[in-house]
Amino acid sequence: MERAEIEQWLRETDDKRLKTLWDIADKVRNDHVGSAVYLRGLVEFSNNCARQCAYCGLHAGNRKVNRYRMTEDEIVACAHKAVEFGYGTVVLQSGEDRAYKRDDLSSIIRRIKTETPLAVTLSLGEREDAELLAWREAGADRYLLRFETSNPDLYAIIHPNLAGKPSDRLAMLRRMRDMGYEIGSGIMVGIPGQTYADIARDIETFRELDLDMIGIGPYLSHPDTMLGQRREELTAPGGEQAPSGELMTYKAVALTRIALPEANIPSTTALATVNRAKGRELGLRRGANIMMPNITPVKYRKDYQIYPGKACIMEDAAACHGCMLMRIEALGRTVGSGRGDSPHYKNANLAPA
């Protein structure tokens, strides 16, 4: 599927035509990654961040955020909880928090790999190559780094550089591939200033990066951010602004599944936020095969809000686990066992040199 066809589908509004798209994506998902839904235990271990991203409620300049950092023992305890629930992966996510040094995170990773059978996914933003290599050597398996948009002008608006450190997430993803990480990225759909053509280019970029994991969620406005305060001013003109609702997100998920048949694609918490009744289920029916139950202690969850009104922030880990199982079983799908590495990554690493 070429960029022009992808863009045409993104503009599609006819329900019958869209039903065809959903069915194609669901079949591709079933044929290439199967019916199992893999669960990743998410630990949001710090909401401190050095960045001033224009869309994120955790940005460094937001003085309304109650900041927290979890200890090594707290983080490792969450990993043990993931094992209790039968998850094959723990996802360690934070803002770009420089208080956690290379050796701090290496120790946490080694403990999890020594004490549990879990795969470890890191989502820590932009870090130095020496740190990334050390964490890979400590046992980290995967790294998630969303580039959010492949439009360089829009990227510069929403993601300002740190002083003296130009941001190039696409290059960083390629370097992590060479380090042996299973790499993941993703976008927000409906960013003010983002066009239909931009999203089509994003999906092409997923393919060019040869990604193993891809997260796609709707842009959700936060009032304490630059984008939240200047949304109308930045909206793309001439009817080219991509909508930020769930329908456009489902289209992007389905088209991404068709473009990258063997990638792991989550049905995100953001989808559950815009449609609490069945957002996650519709994501799973339209190409997704991953869900990420939150195992962060409840006392911290309310303070990790990239966008307001986030779903499930008051559920404890057991309640979140039970809810996920119920939703998956209601679809007639099964819960995956084991690490759930992407078939794409496994096949690439089994190929002869």
**Residue-wise pLDDT tens digits, 248-299:** 999 999 999 999 999 999 999 999 999 999 999 999 999 999 999 999 999 9
Confidence of residue 112 (pLDDT cuts 50, 70, 90): very high
Supply the pLDDT for residue 343: 85
- Helix, strand or coil, per DSSP, at residue 349: helix
CA 241/CA 248 separation, integer angstroms: 11
Side chain identity at 48, as an amino acid letter? Answer: N
Task: Map residue 52 onto helix, strand or coil.
Answer: coil
Number of neighbours of residue 276 by Cβ within 10 angstroms: 12
Tell me: pLDDT of 348 over 90: no
For residue 314, the one-letter residue type is M
pLDDT in tens, 59-93: 999 999 999 999 999 999 999 999 999 999 999 99
- pLDDT for 351 beyond 70: no
Residue extents of the structural domains in the chain: 3-338
How many Cβ atoms sit within 10 Å of the Cβ of residue 117?
10
Question: What's the residue count for the chain?
Answer: 353
pLDDT for 350 equals 60
Angle at 55 between CA 270 and CA 240, to 5 degrees: 85
Kindly tell me if the per-residue pLDDT of 352 is higher than 50: no
pLDDT in tens, 166-216: 999 999 999 999 999 999 999 999 999 999 999 999 999 999 999 999 999
pLDDT of residue 75: 98
pLDDT at 8 (0 to 100):
98
Reported confidence tier of residue 311, pLDDT bands at 50, 70, 90: confident
Chosen CATH of 3-338 out of 3.40.220.10, 3.20.20.70, 3.90.1150.10, 3.30.1700.10:
3.20.20.70
